[in-house]
Structure 1
Amino acid sequence: METGVATKSEEVGKEGDDEETCPLCTPHAKPLRKEDWVMCEACNTWYHWRCAGDGEDVKRVEKWYCKQCLEQDSTRSITYKAPARKSLRKRPVQDYASLDGGANTDPKRFLKQLENKRLKPSPFRKMKGEEVNLEWLEDESAMTEPVVIEVPEGLGMKMPESEWSADDIASELGEGMPVEVMDCATQSNSPGWTLGRWADYMEASPSDRLKSGKWGKGGVYNVISLEVSGTKVGEMVLPPKIVRDLDWVEKFWPSTRKGRGHVYPKVQLYSLMGVEGAWTDWHIDFAGSSVYYHILSGSKVFYFVRPTPANLDAYQRWSGSELQNQTWLGDMADAVYRVELTAGNTMIIPAGWIHAVYTPVDTMVFGGNFLHSYNVATQVRVRNIEIATQVPKKFRFPMFSRLCWYVADKYLKDFRSSTDFPRREIEGTLALADFLVSEVRILENGNEQAKKEVKEQIPVDRVKDAPALARELRWRARLALEYPSDDESEGKGKERERSKSGSSAMKRKRSEEETPVAAMVFKNFRPKKWDGSAQVTEGEQTKRVRTSGPKPGEGDWASAWLENAVVDEEANSGPLVRTRKERYTRVRKTERGMERQVIERRIETWEWDSE
């Protein structure tokens, strides 16, 4: 088991007479009553975390190097511990007076809330493993509702044997390894647990688990945040193939920046261990990420609420408020669906679904979170809700913005050479581009702190010009969807248009309608130049034709000619028509080879004899 970075917390005297000094402190810096220190792994120098840190919780740091040591050796990098798998649910401030009185400490509170509730049976599709593939995504309903796969065959998934237990986890990862354990009664963390202690707890009888003593005050506990990527346990688990095909981290995070010693989003492999009676209250997974969930042994009961606007509003009112202790969220939603999973079942939960989970018997589960391109709008929306409700960074999807830039960089390269993508994927790319354009606007117009936060998330190893990338990707996605405009000031333009005179507004509208989509410009877009062009013009031909179409100026003559004028080219009388043909050919280099553009035009000049 690896140990974390060397840290310490010290209280100094009133005069600040601590013996060690921080190399980054200014001469007249005022000492704090309590200081967190961190030691460089290379030079063993101690620093104040407030002087050297980047705003993260020092407890999350796994390995830390000072700036000088990082510059001396490019292979060194600061690493962080895997984040706990948390929802965006606000955590209410604990009322200890109420706890002493027994309020909110009943581990069976969830079951009592369920009594006499109107639940609907599962309406969700049951699928075979081989049906859950990329072709399935062509169905508009795919990844919009949970699906259940009753047997794992065909999923392309690897799991440990069904007899796998908490004791096996402790043996592989180390009995002394700390583990986050949730007290189901309070839905908050219970401190001081190790994997060895947890394995002993799971082996105890349900009645012994409730006794105080060895397990503290006793109770019903749950493990939902043990991420095992890069461990011996992680090597035994492989997510379903559809997850690996969609997962942004798997597809777009550079392979040279993943693995041991690198910091990247580790949310793909969780070991979840629940005892009889354990439950997790209503929540949405961080950043609206989707989830795969495999029951190795035991059973789980899920309660789902659709992520409709009304239900999401109800969830926000309920989450973190007094309603959370007094009201069952299902009473505030339009419907609650019950799904029971047993050993061998796998479920995929799409982005944004509100759900609660109950454990009727001791259960072992493996699962994980993933972001993908088929519901980006929901993912961004949930991420923005997390920020608006001030969910701490350690409970959000790690490095969300940086991952989005990597995804956008790859999509832009693909869009430049082809737009042959499923429409849902293009719509997702547009939602991604809209999010990154909003980040760019902060970079251009935000305050200094906001600019710094956005800039730090841009991977300069891949993204050299973030504003240009975001805006070009948005333009190309809109073009692929045949949307009419990509003018950032479109909304403001409409406001100005309404304030103009009628004739001026009509003139502007006509101008916009006559502008072809491909000719519209947007900020920072510089299309590649053509490397050459050639024009071929065929000789002009002149002849008379007979036509039933009206002459110019006679009624709605233009519409008649555009739609259904009858022409007889064998006639010896009628308008004199001169015809010529032009062909333009040009080429330019692309990332995959060459693009050749051939444009052919036929130009006719009609002349009626004067009367």
Structure 2
Amino acid sequence: MAGRRRSARNNDKSPQDESNNTAEDRCPACTHESLAKLQFQDKEEWAMCGACKTWYHWHCAGNGEDLDTVDKWFCKPCLAADSRRAITFKAPTRKSERKKTTRDYANLNSGFEPSDPHRFIRVADSKLCKPDNFRRMSGGEVSLEWLEEDPKAMTEPIVIESPDGLEMSMPGSDFTVTDVGTLVGEQTPVEVIDVASQSSSSGWTLGKWVEYCNLEPSARDKILNVISLEVSTTPLADRVVPPRLVRELDWVENFWPSTKKGKGNLYPKVQLYCLMGVEGAWTDWHVDFAGSSVYYHIVRGSKVFYFIKPTPANLAAYERWSGSEAQSHTWLGDMVDEVMKVTLVSGNTMIIPTGWIHAVYTPVDTLVFGGNFLHSYNVATQLRIREIEIKTHVPKKFRFPFFSRLCWYVADKYLKDLKTPGGTPFPPRVLTSLGSLVDFLMSEVHSLEQGSEHTKKEVKEQIPHDRVKDAPALARELRWRVKHATGCTSDDEEDSGRLSPLKRKRKRSESVSGDIPRFKNFKPKSWDNVVESCGEPEQLTIKLPRPSQVDEEWAERWVEVDAQVNGGEEAGDEANMERTNMTIVKVRKTTYGLERERIERRVEKWTWK
């Protein structure tokens, strides 16, 4: 432990030079006022700096915290000398029904009180952050063609400095928070975040929020933030249309039945958010629910983003951080490979892809419109983030709404598309992602078939029975069709997610001729008519060598005896051959027309005298 401490009574010897009575009662941080107060205390606690080993009165050098909660402590001169040093605190003892831990990073020694909302950005400014190297694109470049041709598309954030070409609709820079209140309704309840504690502040309406935002920054008693006002069923929705690419990718937009969306229906309302942050607001490290991607347009003001790439190692670090007390005293950036920083200003649009960990600072009062969307190009990471949410016990109300039901709708539509003859082939990235979707749905099927009664009930409630009549059959057939679309032919249920076309497994039941294996319980359509014909046996006598019982190569030579027979070669022993020609013709109707199969067979029987 870098900082040690002890408790000493005022009339006891101090850890300083015992021969000097003046030094005995003083520490480097003492003032006349602090010494006067110490005279009236029964005892005093001392703390030793973990760097210079100098002892201080905790009354003089501390910031009011309980010394027993401190893990590592450094004096102000040592902190100023090395920015890597930071005061850390012990994790508090877990208690039932405890309140959410305030995210209170180290560096509280620099005059930062736990209630100081500015401490987050001060910590961020003290850390090393790389300038971003994210691609700047024009609106016209952000298209499906870009997504299908560029392997890096939608794998890292992009910035579009001007909305031209995005084919979206947003209010102009003259649009204000007051206009939001007018269109959405001033009596609308709104969730407000207290930045200092990073927790919700209850009892707010949109009208009360507008009044707060219209105050001068110096007149606001707290720094507050609104990041979850969804407006898709309000008149404001008529003024906001997401970028064209987002609309083309969005699962809710494309797969959720249109008759089950809109006011009065339960569906994932995550497409149109109005975010209103005042100067100094901070949103701590997070990943958007279910790994959903985000579009983000600055109407007025500015935002500073801090990004961490969703590598397996970084996501594991995020899982450890978000699921423990480390949130209260650890800067997540110290646990990952690097942090990138990007600043957006009015008129900028950013698309944040699946799984990117980020924190956001608001340097000036800012109004933003954005939304979340799931898509078919990175389902594996979306499911990984959902897994982290479950492991870290994120309450269901803070997860992507109706996630499992949406996955069934997506699967139903893709199965129909894959069954359509002559349909447009899917990009490889989509087929790979569908493999991950199949894995998830098969896990749901296993829970439905083998889980507890409670689990079965939960899974069954998420299946949209208006579209999915037989969920297990749908999942298994989709698994089979996705496998064959990617060139895989393994029917092993355990191998459902391994859909790389480079690794092809052959079942024992698969014939050498390449017959297509069928999924479990598959019954092909029967033939409408089958006609067999057989000619009269033909007798021939010819001289050919007998198959030798000692010649190991006789079988290979006898595969190719047709030329000898037809050429009338007279060599070897005399043999009798009986030859019979047979023909089988099959016909049946199909969804695209007629299928006719003709099979010709010739059977030869050889005997030697």
What's the TM-score once normalised by structure 1's chain length? 0.70
**Matching residue of 2:198:** 187
Where 1:441 maps in the other structure, the secondary structure is helix
Where 2:318 maps in the other structure, the secondary structure is helix
Where 2:235 maps in the other structure, the secondary structure is coil
Is the Cα–Cα contact under 8 Å of residues 584 and 600 in structure 1 kept in the other structure? yes
Query: Offset of 1:328 from its aligned partner?
Result: 1.1
Q: Give the Cα separation in 1 of the matches to 2:357 and 2:311.
A: 10
**Matching residue of 2:174:** 163
Summarize the Cα distance change of 1:327–1:483 in structure 2 as closer, same or farther, 3 Å threshold.
same
User: Aligned AA for 2:439?
Assistant: D
Where 1:177 maps in the other structure, the secondary structure is coil
Is the Cα–Cα contact under 8 Å of residues 586 and 597 in structure 1 kept in the other structure? yes
Q: Give the Cα separation in 2 of the matches to 1:358 and 1:578.
A: 87
Q: Give the Cα separation in 2 of the matches to 1:522 and 1:368.
A: 39
Q: Give the Cα separation in 1 of the matches to 2:389 and 2:583.
A: 58
Residues 86-114 of structure 1, C-alpha deviations (whole Å, 9 max, x = no match) = xxxxx983469x99x98532211221212
Aligned residue runs from structure 1 range 156-305, under 5 A: 156-209=167-220, 218-305=221-308
Query: Offset of 1:407 from its aligned partner?
Result: 1.1
Q: Indicate which of 314, 317, 320 corresponds to 1:317.
A: 320
Mapped pair 1:445 → 2:450: yes
Residues 506-559 of structure 1, C-alpha deviations (whole Å, 9 max, x = no match) = xx9882664788654444x4445246255698999x99xxxxxx9999778999
Q: Give the Cα separation in 1 of the matches to 2:407 and 2:415.
A: 12
Summarize the Cα distance change of 1:555–1:452 in structure 2 as closer, same or farther, 3 Å threshold.
same
Summarize the Cα distance change of 1:232–1:412 in structure 2 as closer, same or farther, 3 Å threshold.
same
Q: Give the Cα separation in 1 of the matches to 2:590 and 2:268.
A: 36
User: Aligned AA for 2:140?
Assistant: E
Q: Give the Cα separation in 2 of the matches to 1:349 and 1:429.
A: 21
Q: Indicate which of 149, 158, 162 corresponds to 1:151.
A: 162
Query: Offset of 1:385 from its aligned partner?
Result: 2.1
User: Aligned AA for 1:442?
Assistant: S
Summarize the Cα distance change of 1:367–1:532 in structure 2 as closer, same or farther, 3 Å threshold.
same
Where 2:493 maps in the other structure, the secondary structure is coil
User: Aligned AA for 1:532?
Assistant: D
Is the Cα–Cα contact under 8 Å of residues 224 and 271 in structure 1 kept in the other structure? yes
165-174 or 384-393, which deviates more: 384-393
Summarize the Cα distance change of 1:133–1:553 in structure 2 as closer, same or farther, 3 Å threshold.
farther
**Matching residue of 2:469:** 464
**Matching residue of 1:416:** 419
**Matching residue of 1:343:** 346
**Matching residue of 2:480:** 475
Mapped pair 1:308 → 2:311: yes
Is the Cα–Cα contact under 8 Å of residues 479 and 518 in structure 1 kept in the other structure? no
Summarize the Cα distance change of 1:178–1:484 in structure 2 as closer, same or farther, 3 Å threshold.
same
User: Aligned AA for 1:448?
Assistant: E
**Matching residue of 1:511:** 508
**Matching residue of 1:532:** 528
Query: Offset of 1:248 from its aligned partner?
Result: 1.0
User: Aligned AA for 1:440?
Assistant: V
- For these two proteins, the number of residue pairs brought into alignment is 487
**Matching residue of 2:440:** 435
**Matching residue of 1:12:** none
Query: Offset of 1:465 from its aligned partner?
Result: 0.8
Query: Offset of 1:489 from its aligned partner?
Result: 5.4
Is the Cα–Cα contact under 8 Å of residues 286 and 358 in structure 2 kept in the other structure? yes
Q: Give the Cα separation in 2 of the matches to 1:140 and 1:428.
A: 14
Is the Cα–Cα contact under 8 Å of residues 489 and 517 in structure 2 kept in the other structure? no
Summarize the Cα distance change of 1:526–1:192 in structure 2 as closer, same or farther, 3 Å threshold.
same
Summarize the Cα distance change of 1:580–1:277 in structure 2 as closer, same or farther, 3 Å threshold.
farther
Q: Indicate which of 91, 99, 114 corresponds to 1:93.
A: 99
Where 1:296 maps in the other structure, the secondary structure is strand
Where 2:508 maps in the other structure, the secondary structure is helix
Q: Give the Cα separation in 2 of the matches to 1:275 and 1:334.
A: 31
**Matching residue of 2:403:** 400
304-313 or 594-603, which deviates more: 594-603
Residues 14-68 of structure 1, C-alpha deviations (whole Å, 9 max, x = no match) = xxxxxxxxxxxxxxxxxxxxxxxxxxxxxxxxxxxxxxxxxxxxxxxxxxxxxxx
Is the Cα–Cα contact under 8 Å of residues 581 and 600 in structure 1 kept in the other structure? no
Is the Cα–Cα contact under 8 Å of residues 129 and 151 in structure 1 kept in the other structure? yes
Aligned residue runs from structure 1 range 304-383, under 5 A: 304-383=307-386
Is the Cα–Cα contact under 8 Å of residues 490 and 506 in structure 2 kept in the other structure? no
Is the Cα–Cα contact under 8 Å of residues 104 and 325 in structure 1 kept in the other structure? no
Summarize the Cα distance change of 1:573–1:334 in structure 2 as closer, same or farther, 3 Å threshold.
farther
Where 1:233 maps in the other structure, the secondary structure is helix
Q: Give the Cα separation in 1 of the matches to 2:125 and 2:412.
A: 51
Query: Offset of 1:191 from its aligned partner?
Result: 1.4
Q: Give the Cα separation in 2 of the matches to 1:559 and 1:297.
A: 81
Residues 257-305 of structure 1, C-alpha deviations (whole Å, 9 max, x = no match) = 1112111110000001111111111111101111111111111111111
Is the Cα–Cα contact under 8 Å of residues 270 and 371 in structure 2 kept in the other structure? yes
Is the Cα–Cα contact under 8 Å of residues 534 and 580 in structure 2 kept in the other structure? no
426-435 or 328-337, which deviates more: 426-435
Summarize the Cα distance change of 1:583–1:415 in structure 2 as closer, same or farther, 3 Å threshold.
farther
Summarize the Cα distance change of 1:187–1:208 in structure 2 as closer, same or farther, 3 Å threshold.
same
Where 2:187 maps in the other structure, the secondary structure is coil
Q: Give the Cα separation in 2 of the matches to 1:561 and 1:396.
A: 69
**Matching residue of 2:115:** 105
Aligned residue runs from structure 1 range 528-567, under 5 A: 529-530=525-526, 532-533=528-529
Query: Offset of 1:568 from its aligned partner?
Result: 11
Is the Cα–Cα contact under 8 Å of residues 92 and 320 in structure 1 kept in the other structure? no
Summarize the Cα distance change of 1:588–1:95 in structure 2 as closer, same or farther, 3 Å threshold.
same
User: Aligned AA for 1:145?
Assistant: E
Q: Which runs of 5+ in 2 are unaligned?
A: 1-96, 106-110, 497-504, 541-546, 572-576
User: Aligned AA for 2:318?
Assistant: Y
**Matching residue of 2:83:** none
Summarize the Cα distance change of 1:282–1:579 in structure 2 as closer, same or farther, 3 Å threshold.
farther
| Rg comparison, structure with higher value | 2
Q: Give the Cα separation in 2 of the matches to 1:608 and 1:450.
A: 66
Q: Give the Cα separation in 2 of the matches to 1:171 and 1:488.
A: 55
Summarize the Cα distance change of 1:323–1:162 in structure 2 as closer, same or farther, 3 Å threshold.
same
Q: Give the Cα separation in 1 of the matches to 2:512 and 2:492.
A: 12
Summarize the Cα distance change of 1:378–1:566 in structure 2 as closer, same or farther, 3 Å threshold.
farther
**Matching residue of 2:53:** none
Q: Give the Cα separation in 2 of the matches to 1:553 and 1:412.
A: 57
Summarize the Cα distance change of 1:579–1:151 in structure 2 as closer, same or farther, 3 Å threshold.
farther
Aligned-pair identity in percent equals: 55
Is the Cα–Cα contact under 8 Å of residues 297 and 365 in structure 1 kept in the other structure? yes
Is the Cα–Cα contact under 8 Å of residues 582 and 600 in structure 2 kept in the other structure? yes
Query: Offset of 1:137 from its aligned partner?
Result: 2.0
Q: Give the Cα separation in 1 of the matches to 2:548 and 2:579.
A: 17
Where 2:297 maps in the other structure, the secondary structure is strand
**Matching residue of 1:6:** none
Is the Cα–Cα contact under 8 Å of residues 510 and 516 in structure 2 kept in the other structure? no
